[in-house]
Chains A and B, each alone.
Chain A
Amino acid sequence: MASSSSSSSCSSSSEKKITLKSSDGEALNVEKNVALEFEPAKGFLEDNSEEADDEAIVVPLPNVSAAVLSELIPYVKQRLELSAKPVQKKLIKAFDDQFTRHLSDDKLGELMLAANYLGVNYLLDVLCDVTADRIKNKSVEYVREFLGIQNDFTPEEEAELRAQCPWAFEGVDQD
């Protein structure tokens, strides 16, 4: 009996709501099981576990904006539902593809920072794959602009490195 009561309390806890407070001060209500996917929120909830009423807890997430959180929350929620079922990896991949396909480059970067900060590693993994895919066949100049990286080589140093591996500069996509 003890095990059945603990499992029922577990399933009801997933319906409890927690409030997340974004960097821009917005409060977002999420299911507790979704909030627990975010490492800082999980830590915060564990530290405040003596609080009887979860509804009263407000978890501050000072590094993530409301705009980014409101993209992340539905993703994590659906991803949790998918991985709870005995689904094929193919389905999860299709879901991830659908989520990332239309992301702008800026949004991709923001989500990467957020997923890294929140410790949502399965999303971070997918986002890194997508970013790698977007720069894979591009030129050096394109990549510098894409990621906002300052070239600190002198033209001579750059030419020398280029000459060491000319094959790496063949067949590059148009920017």
Chain B
Amino acid sequence: MEQISLSEDLITEILCRLPVKSVTRFKIVSKAWNNLISNVCIPRISNLSGFLFHSTEDCMNYFSYSDNNEGCGNDGEGFVESLTSLLPSEYFPYKLFDSCNGLILLGSSLREHRYYVCNPLTKQCVAIPKARERVLESAPALEIRRTTKSFAL
């Protein structure tokens, strides 16, 4: 097909039918593809169609329109699979503490306090360095600082 030059519209149409893993890989095909994928396809194909909400004081739920995943983050079953599958399994069960601008804050509910900030769209996760002075109390919150493109607990 290399002799045929497809328009940007057609390329977009094709890319947006691919799974997240494939489009993430194809970002490095070219600069134009990187733009299309980051700005058009990933937001469009994300299968996370639902919302996060607080149900009790220390528990957040994720409600999905697509696959009836409903329940409390505490028991690990309420998450859509793509959320839990991001994390190292030895720290289960995770608790969903907060969400902000599309990022979510997860933490282990075991004694050892570990927190992760994840982006469910790109399936990226970063571990928060342990607080040296004191262990975070039961309700940490996530805040995005737009100006510095950073987040804080």
A116-B10 in contact (CB<8A): yes
> Complex formed: what's the CA distance from A129 to B15 in Å?
10
Residue contact A105 to B1, C-beta cutoff 8 Å: yes
Chain B residue at minimal CB-CB distance from A159: B28
Residues of A within 8 A of B30 (CB): 144, 149-153
Which A residues are CB-close (under 8 A) to B34?
161
Q: Does A66 interact with chain B (Cβ within 8 Å)?
A: no
Q: How large is the interface on A (under 10, 10 to 19, 20 to 34, 35 or more residues)?
A: 35 or more
B121 to chain A, nearest CB (A): 12
Secondary structure at chain A's binding surface: helix, strand, loop or mixed?
Answer: helix
B147 in the interface (beta carbon within 8 A): no
For residue B113, CB closer than 8 A to chain A, the reply is: no
| In the complex, A162 has a CB within 8 A of chain B | yes
Which B residues are in CB contact (< 8 Å) with A151? 29-30
CB-CB under 8 A from A158, the residues of chain B are 28
Query: What is the CA–CA distance of A137 and B33 in the complex, to the nearest angstrom?
Result: 17
Residues of A142-175 contacting chain B, CB below 8 A:
143-153, 158, 161-162, 165, 167-169, 172
Residues of A within 8 A of B6 (CB): 109, 112-113, 147
**B44 located at the interface, meaning its Cβ lies under 8 Å from any Cβ of chain A in the complex:** no
- Provide the bound-state CA to CA distance between A144 and B34, in Å: 13
In the complex, per-residue mask of B1-27: 1 if CB is within 8 Å of any chain A CB, else 0: 111111101110111011101101111
B2→A146 contact, CB < 8 A: yes
Q: Tell me whether A168 and B24 are in contact in the complex, defined as CB-CB below 8 angstroms, given that A128-B10, A148-B5, A153-B31 are known contacts.
A: yes
Which B residues lie within 8 Å of A106 (CB)? 1, 3-4
Does B68 have its Cβ within 8 Å of any Cβ on chain A? Answer: no
A140 interface residue, CB < 8 Å from B?
yes
B123 at the interface (CB under 8 A from A): yes
**Alpha-carbon distance between A109 and B19 when the two chains are bound, in angstroms:** 21
User: Do residues B122 and A165 form an inter-chain contact, with CB atoms below 8 A?
Assistant: yes
Asked if B4 contacts A109 (CB within 8 A), the reply is: yes
Q: Is the CB of B46 closer than 8 A to any CB of chain A?
A: no
What 10 additional pairs, Cβ within 8 angstroms, besides A144-B30, A146-B1?
A113-B6, A132-B18, A137-B22, A147-B11, A148-B3, A149-B29, A152-B30, A161-B27, A162-B28, A168-B22
**29 A-B residue pairings within 8 Å (CB atoms):** A105-B1, A109-B1, A109-B6, A113-B4, A116-B10, A128-B17, A131-B14, A132-B14, A132-B17, A135-B14, A135-B22, A135-B26, A136-B18, A137-B22, A146-B1, A147-B1, A147-B2, A148-B3, A148-B5, A150-B30, A152-B32, A153-B28, A153-B30, A153-B31, A161-B27, A161-B28, A165-B24, A167-B123, A168-B25
